[in-house]
Amino acid sequence: MLESISWISSLGELKPLSNIPESIGILFTEKDQISVHTAASIILYALRYNIKRVSFYDPWNLITLYEYEITTLAAQMTTLYYLNSGLDERIVKVFFLQPKESLKILGVISNRMIAQQITIDKRNITNELNKEYIFNIDLLVKIGSIPTICGYPAWALHLAEIVSIPRFKRKNHVDEDEFVGLLKSYNSRNRRPCSADAKFKCPPNVCLSGCKCVGYFRKTSSGKCVLRKDCGGIPKKCKTNEVFMQCGKCQDYCDFPPTDYCTAHCKKPGCYCPKGFFVKSNNECVRKENCGPVPTQVPTPCPMLCQANEVYTDCGFFEKTCKKRIVDTFMGCLPPGCYCCDPFVRREDTGCCIYPNKC
């Protein structure tokens, strides 16, 4: 195994890049382009260039099948890299997503719209979809000759840039120059600022070359292309008892018991209920005493004796399953009980905790 990753020892100084994407997506549109070593080397380069997130889109259900092997090899690569470079350790988050995972979001927003009595129409559905994204990708690298995104809904990708290549030069790993070339493609884009007018007007009889944010996308101060409504800087006009937040937060609802945990990242910029207020069924912010009766939940006692590959914990967490390998990180605890030990995942039909490649 060490011989197959010995090329890491030859990595030199970082290539100069002025604008590096925070999150990248990798989509293999052809099966023969997929390999464990290729995926692991991409994770290594992402860590080397301080990219925060790598999302593998898996239309063939092959990458997900070898998730354990990919992450294990990537860990070996990064260990060897740190031993040779002497740099401080960094963290890169890695996600694996099948097309059907993004479609599950439709069920989530449908239940929420019904619970909050939101009118189900195209505009409201779009608004709710914008609140629920799995990844926020700055750059998608599409490998293969198939000119599609293999069934992934555009709203699930939230893309700013797409770079297409027919294949990587090597089968056992990606060359650094090749990876940096993809980043340079993103780095060289000349995006319109958020302050730009809705229409881009060229001087008469003059052709201007270069790249710009398309359609309703605008350039932020960090160089990303975002939807015009997500530019920020200009607070929206909010309803009574609402405040505009650039870094959105979790909210409590009158129809559900208050939650003591919340996702660790910012929600979409927008209008939110301030502290001490709850979202009522008519989507208004009211104080707790104006909510009416709140349903209660009776906890179900959990047995102390756990099954194979499980561990009992007083601070529960969201588990990975055979069908859902991506889970949110929460600042709090789920109910006490038996949970799958790492790296096991729960099989939905039997309830057993098994290795990911045994799903």
Instruction: Write down the domain spans for the chain.
Output: 19-98+131-187, 190-195+208-228, 232-297, 298-359
Q: What is the pLDDT of residues 35-86, one digit of tens each?
A: 899 999 999 999 999 998 898 887 777 888 888 899 999 998 988 888 887 7
Percent of the chain residues topping a pLDDT of 70? 68
145, 29 in Cβ contact below 8 A?
yes
C-alpha closest to that of 95 among 141, 58, 142, 130: 58
Q: Choose from 114-118, 174-178, 260-264, 271-275 the range with maximum mean pLDDT.
A: 174-178
C-alpha closest to that of 41 among 62, 31, 56: 56
Q: Considering the entire predicted model, what is its pTM?
A: 0.48
- The pLDDT-based confidence of 245 (bands split at 50, 70, 90) is confident
Q: How far apart are CA 24 and CA 154, in angstroms?
A: 15
C-alpha closest to that of 276 among 287, 284, 290, 292: 287
Helices (H) and strands (E) in the chain, counts: 6, 15
Q: Is domain 298-359 given the CATH code 2.10.25.10 in the classification?
A: yes
Q: How far apart are CA 341 and CA 295, in angstroms?
A: 33
Could you give the C-alpha distances from 296 to 254, 255, 285, in angstroms and in order? 12, 10, 21
For residues 110-138, one letter each, b for 16 or more C-beta atoms within 10 angstroms of the residue's C-beta and e for the rest, the string is eeebeebebeeeeeebebbbbebebbbbb
Task: Decide if 232-297 and 298-359 have a common fold.
Answer: yes
Fold classification of 232-297 (topology level): Laminin (2.10.25)
144, 33 in Cβ contact below 8 A?
yes
Q: What is the pLDDT of residues 204-244, one digit of tens each?
A: 444 444 566 665 566 666 667 776 656 655 556 788 899 88
Q: How far apart are CA 119 and CA 66, in angstroms?
A: 42
User: Can you give the length of the chain in residues?
Assistant: 359
User: Who contacts 337 (Cβ-Cβ below 8 Å, separation ≥6)?
Assistant: 302, 312, 313, 316
Q: What is the CA radius of gyration of the chain?
A: 23
At CA 86, angle to CA 85 and CA 88, rounded to 5? 110
Q: Read off φ and ψ for residue 235, nearest 5 degrees.
A: -55, 140
Q: Read off φ and ψ for residue 114, nearest 5 degrees.
A: -70, -45
Q: What is the pLDDT of residues 98-124, one digit of tens each?
A: 766 656 666 777 788 888 888 887 677
User: Who contacts 312 (Cβ-Cβ below 8 Å, separation ≥6)?
Assistant: 302, 304, 306, 336, 337, 338, 339
315, 336 in Cβ contact below 8 A?
yes
Give me the sign of the Cα torsion angle 355, 72, 159, 273: positive
